[in-house]
């Protein structure tokens, strides 16, 4: 495994950075929030990203994808993460899309993947519940046999990009106690299926997120993704992939927040000198720099390990997410502190990074969760 | 067969024929394990001496140095093959020390022809052991305020003053030192010269310093009217600061490499922290019962992995032909701080069994760990304190103003 960008990956990074600068500077996130945009992202821009080939990066060429890996997608997500671009990569590509692509049968693949790759379908992955925290095995939503299919009842929350989506995967239990890893099914459900109610949630980062209620929702038997009762395995696989994608986004976000802070340290004068000349602030800036450099190595390694199906890939995913969580939160907190009073104002952008850092930290498991997972995978 | 492949085959045969049979398969050890050489070195075995002699003769103690100065004259690719073969055959390092890692590279960069011809071959063959005369009692982090004087008189200078933290000066043959030759210079960095001094010259005396760990790896070195030929000045009179800074770069990368080595050899010994926790804190085979210790172990292990991945990223970037990025500036800082944290955690896990200084009630390994922990406190001080490293990053990498 080489922890270095190929020439093609460098080119891709440049293209994505140019695209974000032109179409989605940080001001766009502010405008989407201030206009109470119900989607929180743009379908038109998503279509453009699909036309550039980014949405199809990890999918097979047979369904219109590029057949590439997380190493490539991470490069794009890092570039977009710098200005907190809110388009639904994690939900549509890495969670629902990859679950269907890697674990679905031909029928469900044919129904969803071509539309996803073309940027026409946005798909959520409704697995978290109010009490599940970060545990993928905690599923209280139930399903029961109904004719040749199933009937699902339950409630999901904190479902990324569910508001205004075309369809979603939902986890539901056919057997076992609420926290049993066995007995979990995953189904692809159309957003307009009878009995589905999607209620938008507003979180501190104002990204798309929703509660998904299912009241006796009926699905056909071939809507199941993965083997019977083995939905947990599918979720573990795709949530790891989405975690690496989120880490890349977080790396971009923390890098940009740090650059903004550094620029402020050089410009802002107090006591007749730039505040960046004071050693108390220099050392804090240098320490943050160190953290971000370490994060970059971990994110690159995790993406490559997952692509290569390395034996320690899961550990590297936890390493990347634990460090990304701590470092992005630190970059947000230190940024606001070093900006001082203006950092607390809504007028300045640094606050957007602090808020996004917190949401990203608590998506797919925070640092403590991933340290515990590292320990478990290491045999202690 | 490519040239590199045939080089590999020839080298493998040569190593198998020339390495002492007892050394084949013995294992390489860390960056700081091996003979330091010099006139006073006591070889631990005939094989150790024989190994140094054959490798030194071939120039492979310094594989990439030019052959006209006794080096191996190998290309970087060939040197990599040699290093791979040494690892593969589990051969120990034939020679280590400041000659190879610090003064040698510095002389290659700044030395004149005469200096290179005189000193480099003797380093390669392990005949001369070098120490470093930088810090003084009143010049630590503020190195440029050093006071040792060199008064120029005709073709020599007379050196007086005191250097501290001269590593193993009592076992070394030569010292490279910074002395002030132009006290009237307006900028304190401007009046400094970099000189090479024979420790056997009249007026040089050495006194070991005892550390909190009980060991004495460092000395105080006194110079009383020592006559040094001007031919021993590197890069010209008063131009020593440039040399000094370049050598500090070599020193910091050596320290960072050494900690990379410590980390990997610790891991190679198996489990490390995890095994310690099971032994001292009890519990069965499942998750460690003490959740705080479990989290602390995961933290240190994960930080270690992040560090080694960053070292790897730098090497991979170099192999791909990129210029060194800013990430390399963090190695001395992070590697030493991490090593301290690792020892702190070890003694916390061992609890009262980490308190032994000597005598009954403690295993040898416990006593050694305690001494190592005490010694590790110096890691973030020697070779530029962590605070100085943060200053360097803030200034050179982040461009923050003075």
Reported as half-sphere exposure (CB side, CA atoms, 13 A), residue B234 has a value of 29
Q: Does residue A325 sit in helix, strand or coil?
A: helix
Model confidence at A198, pLDDT cuts 50, 70, 90, reads very high
Model confidence at B270, pLDDT cuts 50, 70, 90, reads very low
Distance, in Å, from the CA atom of A232 to the CA atom of A237, rounded to the nearest integer, reads 9
Partner A, chain B 293-332, Cβ-Cβ below 8 Å:
294-295, 297-299, 301-303, 305-307, 309-310, 312-313, 316-317, 319-320, 322, 326-327, 330
Q: What is the mean pLDDT of residues B226-232?
A: 97
Q: Judge whether A13 is closer than 8 Å to chain B, CB to CB.
A: no
Q: Does residue B263 sit in helix, strand or coil?
A: helix
Q: What is the mean pLDDT of residues B141-159?
A: 96
Q: Which residue of chain A has the CA closest to B311?
A: A297
Q: Which residue of chain A has the CA closest to B275?
A: A380
Nearest CB to B401 within list A266, A287, A294: A266
Share of chain B above pLDDT 90, in %: 80
Could you identify the residue written with the tokens 């409704």? A126
Distance, in Å, from the CA atom of A311 to the CA atom of A178, rounded to the nearest integer, reads 30
Model confidence at B322, pLDDT cuts 50, 70, 90, reads confident
Q: Judge whether B147 is closer than 8 Å to chain A, CB to CB.
A: no
Q: Are B96 and B33 in contact (CB under 8 A)?
A: yes
Q: What Rg, from alpha-carbon coordinates, does chain A have?
A: 21
Model confidence at B195, pLDDT cuts 50, 70, 90, reads very high
On average, the pLDDT of chain B sits at 91
Q: Which residue of chain B has the CA closest to A315?
A: B302
Whether A149 shows a pLDDT value over 90: the answer reads yes
- A380: chain B residues, CB-CB within 8 Å: 274, 277-278, 287-288, 294, 297
Segment B67-107, tens digit of pLDDT = 999 999 999 889 989 999 998 999 999 999 999 999 999 99
Nearest CB to A371 within list B278, B299, B312: B299
Q: Are A335 and A181 in contact (CB under 8 A)?
A: no
Instruction: Give the contacts of B188 (CB within 8 A, at least 6 positions apart).
Output: B144, B145
C-beta atoms of A4 and B317 within 8 A: yes
Whether B260 shows a pLDDT value over 70: the answer reads no
Q: What burial class does residue A272 get, using C-beta atoms within 10 Å of its C-beta: 0-12 exposed, 13-18 middle, 19+ buried?
A: exposed
Could you identify the residue written with the tokens 């292990």? B301
Q: Are A230 and A103 in contact (CB under 8 A)?
A: no
Whether B264 shows a pLDDT value over 70: the answer reads no
CA distances from A111 to A60, A108, B67, B282 (A): 15, 5, 69, 55
ipTM of the complex: 0.96
Segment A245-293, tens digit of pLDDT = 999 999 999 999 999 999 999 999 999 999 999 999 999 999 999 999 9
CA angle in degrees (0–180, nearest 5) for B268-B271-B277: 150
On average, the pLDDT of chain A sits at 97
pLDDT at B31: 59
Distance, in Å, from the CA atom of A71 to the CA atom of A67, rounded to the nearest integer, reads 12
Q: Are B335 and B259 in contact (CB under 8 A)?
A: yes
pLDDT at B251: 80
Model confidence at B261, pLDDT cuts 50, 70, 90, reads low
Model confidence at B394, pLDDT cuts 50, 70, 90, reads very high
**How many inter-chain contacts (A to B, CB under 8 Å) are there?**
127
Angle between helix A7-23 and helix A70-81 axes, rounded to 10 deg: 30
Model confidence at A237, pLDDT cuts 50, 70, 90, reads very high
Q: Which of A380, A366, A373, A255 is nearest to A313 (CA)?
A: A373
Distance, in Å, from the CA atom of A126 to the CA atom of A186, rounded to the nearest integer, reads 9
C-beta atoms of A297 and B312 within 8 A: yes
Nearest CB to A374 within list B298, B393, B395: B298
pLDDT at A267: 98
Domain ranges of chain B: 3-124, 130-238, 243-397
Segment A296-330, tens digit of pLDDT = 999 999 999 999 999 999 999 999 999 999 999 99
Could you identify the residue written with the tokens 């050489």? B37
pLDDT at B268: 44
C-beta atoms of B313 and A266 within 8 A: no
C-beta atoms of B298 and A378 within 8 A: yes
Q: What is the mean pLDDT of residues A73-78?
A: 98
Q: Which residue of chain A has the CA closest to B331?
A: A290
C-beta atoms of B312 and A3 within 8 A: yes
Copy the structure tokens of residue B262: 């410590």
Q: Judge whether A202 is closer than 8 Å to chain B, CB to CB.
A: no
SS (H, E, C) A71-126: HHHHHHHHHHHCCCCCCCHHHHHHHHHHHHHHHCCHHHHHHHHHHHHCCCCCEEEE
Q: Which of A109, A99, A48, A130 is nearest to A242 (CA)?
A: A99
Q: Which residue of chain B has the CA closest to A3?
A: B313
Angle between helix A43-51 and helix A7-23 axes, rounded to 10 deg: 160
Q: In degrees rounded to 5, what are phi and psi of residue B177?
A: -135, 155
C-beta atoms of B295 and A380 within 8 A: no
pLDDT at B269: 43
Longest dimension (CA), chain B: 76
Q: Judge whether A8 is closer than 8 Å to chain B, CB to CB.
A: no
Q: Are A29 and A23 in contact (CB under 8 A)?
A: no
Assign domain B3-124 one CATH number from 1.10.540.10, 3.40.640.10, 2.102.10.10, 3.10.580.10.
1.10.540.10
Q: Judge whether A4 is closer than 8 Å to chain B, CB to CB.
A: yes
Distance, in Å, from the CA atom of B400 to the CA atom of A274, rounded to the nearest integer, reads 9
Q: Judge whether A371 is closer than 8 Å to chain B, CB to CB.
A: yes
Q: Are A242 and A94 in contact (CB under 8 A)?
A: yes
CATH number of B243-397: 1.20.140.10
- B333: chain A residues, CB-CB within 8 Å: 290
Instruction: Give the contacts of A11 (CB within 8 A, at least 6 positions apart).
Output: none
Q: How many C-beta atoms lie closer than 10 Å to residue A34's C-beta?
A: 10
Any alpha helices (H) in B136-208, and if so which ranges? none
Assign domain B130-238 one CATH number from 2.40.110.10, 3.30.300.30, 2.60.120.380, 2.40.50.140.
2.40.110.10
């Amino acid at each position: 495994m080489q922890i270095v960008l190929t020439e093609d990956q460098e080119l891709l990074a440049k293209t994505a950075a140019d695209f974000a600068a032109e179409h989605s500077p940080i001001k766009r996130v502010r405008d989407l929030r201030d206009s109470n945009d119900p989607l929180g992202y743009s379908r038109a821009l998503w279509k453009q990203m699909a036309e550039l080939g980014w949405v199809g990066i990890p999918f097979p060429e047979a369904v219109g994808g590029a057949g590439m890996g997380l190493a490539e997608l991470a490069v794009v997500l890092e570039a977009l993460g710098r200005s907190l671009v809110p388009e639904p990569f994690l939900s549509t590509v890495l969670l629902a899309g990859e679950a269907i692509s890697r674990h679905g049968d031909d029928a469900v693949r044919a129904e969803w993947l071509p539309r996803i790759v073309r940027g026409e379908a946005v798909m959520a992955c409704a697995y978290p519940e109010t009490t599940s925290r970060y545990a993928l095995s905690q599923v209280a939503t139930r399903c029961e046999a109904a004719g040749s299919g199933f009937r699902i009842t339950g409630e999901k929350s904190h479902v990324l990009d569910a508001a205004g989506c075309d369809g979603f995967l939902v986890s539901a239990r056919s057997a076992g106690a609420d926290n049993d890893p066995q007995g979990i099914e995953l189904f692809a459900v159309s957003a307009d299926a009878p009995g589905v109610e999607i209620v938008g949630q507003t979180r501190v980062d104002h990204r798309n997120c929703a509660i998904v209620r299912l009241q006796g929702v009926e699905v056909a038997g071939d809507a199941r993704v993965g083997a019977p009762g083995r939905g947990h395995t599918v979720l573990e696989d795709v949530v790891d992939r989405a975690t690496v994608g989120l880490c890349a986004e977080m790396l971009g976000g923390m890098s940009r927040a740090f650059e903004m802070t550094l620029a402020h340290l050089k410009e802002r004068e107090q006591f007749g000198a730039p505040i960046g000349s004071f050693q108390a602030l220099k050392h804090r800036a240098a320490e943050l720099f160190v953290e971000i450099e370490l994060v970059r190595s971990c994110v690159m390694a995790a993406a490559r390990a997952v692509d290569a199906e390395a034996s320690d890939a899961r550990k590297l995913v936890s390493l990347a997410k634990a460090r990304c969580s701590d470092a992005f939160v630190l970059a947000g907190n230190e940024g606001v502190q070093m900006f001082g009073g203006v950092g607390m104002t809504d007028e300045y952008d640094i606050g957007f990074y602090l808020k996004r850092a917190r949401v990203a930290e608590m998506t797919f498991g925070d640092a403590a969760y991933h340290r515990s997972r590292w320990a478990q995978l290491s045999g202690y | 067969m490519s040239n590199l492949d045939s080089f590999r085959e020839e080298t493998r045969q040569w190593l198998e024929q020339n390495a002492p049979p007892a050394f084949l398969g013995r294992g390489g050890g860390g960056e700081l394990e091996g003979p330091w050489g010099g006139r006073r070195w006591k070889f631990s075995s005939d094989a150790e001496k024989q190994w140094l002699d054959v490798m030194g003769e071939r120039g492979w103690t310094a594989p990439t140095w030019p052959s006209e100065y006794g080096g191996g004259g190998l290309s970087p690719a060939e040197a990599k093959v040699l290093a791979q073969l040494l690892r593969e055959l589990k051969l120990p390092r034939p020679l280590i020390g400041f000659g190879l890692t610090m003064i040698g590279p510095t002389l290659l960069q700044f030395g004149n022809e005469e200096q290179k011809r005189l000193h480099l071959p003797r380093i390669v063959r392990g005949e001369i052991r070098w120490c470093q005369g930088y810090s003084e009692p009143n010049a630590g982090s503020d190195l440029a305020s050093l006071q040792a004087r060199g008064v120029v008189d005709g073709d020599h200078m007379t050196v007086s003053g005191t250097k501290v933290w001269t590593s193993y000066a009592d076992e070394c043959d030569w010292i490279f030192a910074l002395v002030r030759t132009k006290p009237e210079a307006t900028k304190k960095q401007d009046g400094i010269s970099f000189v090479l001094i024979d420790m056997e010259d009249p007026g040089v005396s050495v006194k070991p310093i005892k550390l909190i760990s009980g060991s004495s790896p460092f000395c105080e070195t006194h110079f009383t009217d020592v006559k040094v030929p001007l031919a021993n000045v590197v890069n010209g009179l008063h131009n020593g600061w440039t040399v000094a800074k370049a050598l500090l770069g070599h020193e910091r990368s050596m320290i960072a490499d050494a900690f990379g080595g410590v980390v990997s050899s610790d891991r190679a010994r198996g489990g490390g922290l995890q095994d310690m926790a099971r032994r001292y804190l009890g519990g069965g085979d499942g998750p460690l019962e003490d959740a705080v210790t479990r989290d602390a172990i995961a933290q240190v292990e994960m930080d270690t992995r992040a560090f080694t991945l960053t070292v790897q990223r730098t090497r991979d970037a170099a192999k791909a032909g990129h210029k060194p990025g800013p990430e390399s500036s963090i190695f001395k800082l992070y590697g030493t701080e991490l090593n301290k944290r690792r020892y702190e955690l070890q003694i916390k896990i061992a609890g009262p069994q980490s308190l032994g200084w000597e005598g009954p009630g403690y295993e040898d390994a416990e006593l050694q760990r305690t001494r190592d922990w005490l010694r590790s406190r110096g890691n973030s001080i020697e070779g530029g304190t962590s605070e100085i490293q943060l200053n360097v990053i803030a200034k050179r990498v982040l461009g923050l103003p003075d």
